[in-house]
Amino acid sequence: RGIRVTAVAPGSVRTPMVTELARAGKMDLAAIRRRVPMGRLARPDEIARVVRFLSSTQARYITGSVLAVDGGWMSFNQPGDAHPPVDGALQAELSCPAECTDARIVLVTGGAKSIGAAVARR
C-alpha cells in the first residue's frame, strides 16, 4: 500500500559515454539529433527533473506507467529526419547546469555517474 511504480524511458542522453562513442566514430550524434523532433539530445539533469517530479507528491496519482522522456523520438516513428540540423546544438545540450532540490527517497541504479548521478544529486 502506498507504493507507486513508474518507469522513465529516456531517449538519447548526452553522457560522457555517448561523447566518447561519438569521438571514437561509433555513434553519429548529428544523425541522432535529426531523428529527434526537439533537435538535440537530453542532458542528464533533464531526466533527473522528471524522476524528481515522479517521486514528488505532485505525481501521487501516477503509477503503473512508463514515461518516455525522449524529445519526441517515439512519436516521430517514420523514415527520414524529424528535425533539420541545428547549429550549436552540442553546446546547447551542455549549457544548463543541474539545480539542487529537496531530499527524497528514490532508488537510483548507476548513481556513480551520468544519468544516475544526476538523479541522485537532484
- Per domain, the residue ranges of the chain are 6-121
- Measure the CA–CA gap between 104 and 49, rounded to whole angstroms: 12
Q: How confident is the model at residue 102 (pLDDT cuts 50, 70, 90)?
A: very low
Mean per-residue pLDDT over the chain, rounded = 79
Contact criterion met (CB below 8 Å) for 110 and 116:
yes
User: Considering the entire predicted model, what is its pTM?
Assistant: 0.66
**Residues 16-32, buried b or exposed e (16+ Cβ, 10 A)?**
eebbeebeeeeeebeeb
> For residue 4, what are the contacts with CB-CB under 8 A and spacing of at least 6?
59, 60, 62, 63
β partners of residue 42: 13
Is the confidence at residue 88, as pLDDT, over 60? no
Q: Which residues contact 63 (CB under 8 A, 6 or more apart)?
A: 4, 5, 6
Between 119 and 28, where is the model more confident?
Answer: 28
pLDDT digits (tens, 9 = 90+) for 45-86: 999 999 999 999 999 999 999 999 999 888 876 677 776 665
* Whole-number Å distance between alpha carbons of 26 and 109: 25
Q: Residue 79 corresponds to which cell in the numbers above?
A: 523514415
pLDDT digits (tens, 9 = 90+) for 6-51: 999 999 999 999 999 999 999 999 888 888 888 899 999 999 999 9
What pLDDT does 7 receive?
92
Distance of CA 35 to the CA centre of its chain: 15
